[in-house]
């Protein structure tokens, strides 16, 4: 399972709910051993047995990260990723960074920070007569 797509999730849900009509190969038994089906807010979700974290589909990564990032009042990438990892198993830091990079509110915040004026003064050394 390289990427957890909506299609992959549908297969796993079929296996876990006993509605799979395909072959019962090594992958089939791996899924039964490692995952379980849970219902959250009326939706069926696949959860890892070890750790109890939800498997998010690739298609839902952006929505999940944006929602959590907004709920955290636009905190940094690391804090957002840590909060994502509390619930979801397979959303990598790279995705979080990419989504936060495109966050308009965070871009506006960083513009305000970079507008600060820095005063640069020359270093004066006493006892020298200047350039030769």
Give Cα 103 distance to the centre of its chain.
14
User: 15 and 32 in contact (C-beta within 8 Å)?
Assistant: yes
Share of residues in the chain with pLDDT > 90 (%)? 68
Contact call for residues 66 and 74 (beta carbons, < 8 A): no
pLDDT at res. 82:
96
End-to-end CA distance of the chain: 71
Which pTM value belongs to this model?
0.77
Task: Give residue 114's pLDDT.
Answer: 56
With a CB cutoff of 8 Å and minimum separation 6, the contacts of 99 are 61, 62, 65, 66, 69
Task: Give the residue with greater pLDDT, 107 vs 16.
Answer: 16
Chain-centroid distance of CA 27 in Å reads 26
pLDDT single digits (tens) 39-75: 988 988 999 999 999 999 999 999 999 999 999 999 9
Asked whether residue 117 carries a pLDDT value surpassing 70, the answer given is no
pLDDT band at 118 (very low <50, low <70, confident <90, very high): low
């Amino acid at each position: 399972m390289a990427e957890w797509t909506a299609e992959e999730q549908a297969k796993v849900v079929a296996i876990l709910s006993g509605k799979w009509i395909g072959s019962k190969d090594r992958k089939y038994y791996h899924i039964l051993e490692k995952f379980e089906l849970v219902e959250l807010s009326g939706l069926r979700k696949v959860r890892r047995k070890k750790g109890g974290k939800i498997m998010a589909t690739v298609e839902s990564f952006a929505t999940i990260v944006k929602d959590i990032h907004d709920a955290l009042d636009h905190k940094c990438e690391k804090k957002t990723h840590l909060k994502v990892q509390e619930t979801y198993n397979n959303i990598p830091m790279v995705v979080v960074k990419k989504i936060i990079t495109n966050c308009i509110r965070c871009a506006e915040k960083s513009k305000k920070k970079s507008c600060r004026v820095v005063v640069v003064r020359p270093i004066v050394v006493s006892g020298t007569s200047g350039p030769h």
